[in-house]
């Protein structure tokens, strides 16, 4: 049976785009009403106080798009919450003074996430990197998918010798980083997700077989990128 085109995947997952769109439209409407004198709202004050909500919204949208790759989006949400508490004067902290302990915690979490199986026959591949890169590969003939998170780092996933029954799903989150996935020429790749000042590129050649196995990739890319190729 022929697989649905990529547009159908994006149509099934519109919530993150709607969430961010509503937030931006609301901010724009309030700013416009403030400029027109309808409401007493200063655009500068509004942005100066509530700009961390954008960071939180991006993190939540990423969690909705790639829930299995939760490490990166959760870090973004946590950073946004901390910034919002500081701007509202609910906590008295110098952001730059607390930044280095947060960095240490994130690096530690990244190391813990990287611990685990690195075998070549893994049915699922999970990896999270921050400020460095890693290479993963699987030759499992029953590959199921996995999750990848790259924050200011890179991940190279080699699946050229793997096989899937009919379908596998891969969740990818990248923030100021990049992910490269290599797949066999017999696979059909379907990509959908949320790009924020970023994007992805599918360099694979679609197979002639209408019943070719499908690798579905759900991605959130924030000022980063994804490349899939044979």
* Phi and psi angles of residue 140, each rounded to the nearest 5 degrees, phi first: -60, 135
Contact of 187 with 215, CB cutoff 8 Å: yes
- Work out the burial of residue 115: count CB atoms within 10 Å of its CB; fewer than 13 is exposed, 13-18 middle, 19 or more buried: exposed
Determine the pLDDT at residue 127: 85
> Two tokens at 1?
């049976």
Q: What is the mean pLDDT of the chain?
A: 79
Domain boundaries, the chain: 28-34+41-112, 118-229
CA dihedral 146, 150, 153, 157 (to 10 degrees): 20
| pLDDT at residue 43 in the model | 63
Give 157 or 31, the one with higher predicted confidence.
157
pLDDT of 4: 44
14's tokens: 């519109």
- Rounded Cα distance between 69 and 219, Å, is 9
Q: In sequence order, which ranges of the chain are alpha helices (DSSP H)?
A: 6-12, 15-36, 43-50, 52-65, 71-87, 95-114
What pLDDT, on the 0 to 100 scale, is given for residue 104? Answer: 74
**Which run of H or of E encompasses 85?**
helix 71-87
**CA torsion through residues 100, 222, 171, 78, sign:** positive
Say whether pLDDT at 163 is over 90.
Answer: yes
**Whole-Å CA distances, 2 to 66, 88, 169, 207, 212:** 25, 53, 17, 11, 8
Output the pLDDT for position 11.
Answer: 40
Please report which confidence band the pLDDT of residue 12 belongs to, taking 50, 70 and 90 as the band edges.
very low
pLDDT > 70 in the chain, percent:
78
Which pTM value belongs to this model?
Answer: 0.70
* C-alpha–C-alpha distance, residues 173 and 175, integer Å: 7
Q: Which of the two residues, 201 and 36, has the higher pLDDT score?
A: 201
Q: Counting every residue, how long is the chain? A: 230
């Amino acid at each position: 049976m022929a697989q649905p085109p990529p547009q159908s995947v994006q149509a099934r997952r519109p919530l993150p785009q709607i969430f961010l769109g509503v937030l931006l439209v609301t901010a724009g409407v309030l700013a416009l009403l403030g400029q027109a004198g309808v409401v007493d709202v200063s655009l500068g004050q509004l942005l100066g106080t509530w700009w961390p909500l954008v960071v939180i919204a991006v993190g939540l949208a990423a969690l909705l798009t790639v829930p299995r790759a939760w490490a990166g989006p959760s870090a973004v949400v946590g950073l946004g919450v901390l910034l919002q508490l500081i701007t509202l004067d609910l906590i008295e902290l110098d952001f730059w003074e607390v930044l280095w302990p947060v960095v240490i915690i994130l690096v530690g979490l990244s190391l813990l996430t990287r611990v685990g199986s690195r075998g070549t026959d893994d049915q699922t591949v999970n990896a999270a990197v921050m400020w460095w890169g890693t290479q993963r590969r699987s030759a499992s003939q029953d590959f199921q998918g996995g999750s990848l998170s790259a924050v200011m780092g890179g991940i190279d996933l080699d699946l050229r010798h793997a096989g899937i029954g009919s379908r596998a799903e891969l969740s990818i989150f990248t923030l100021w980083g990049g992910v490269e996935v290599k797949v066999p020429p017999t696979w059909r790749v379907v990509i959908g997700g949320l790009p924020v000042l970023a994007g992805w590129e599918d360099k694979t050649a679609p197979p002639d077989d209408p019943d070719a196995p499908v690798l579905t990739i759900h991605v959130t890319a924030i000022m980063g990128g994804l490349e899939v190729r044979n």
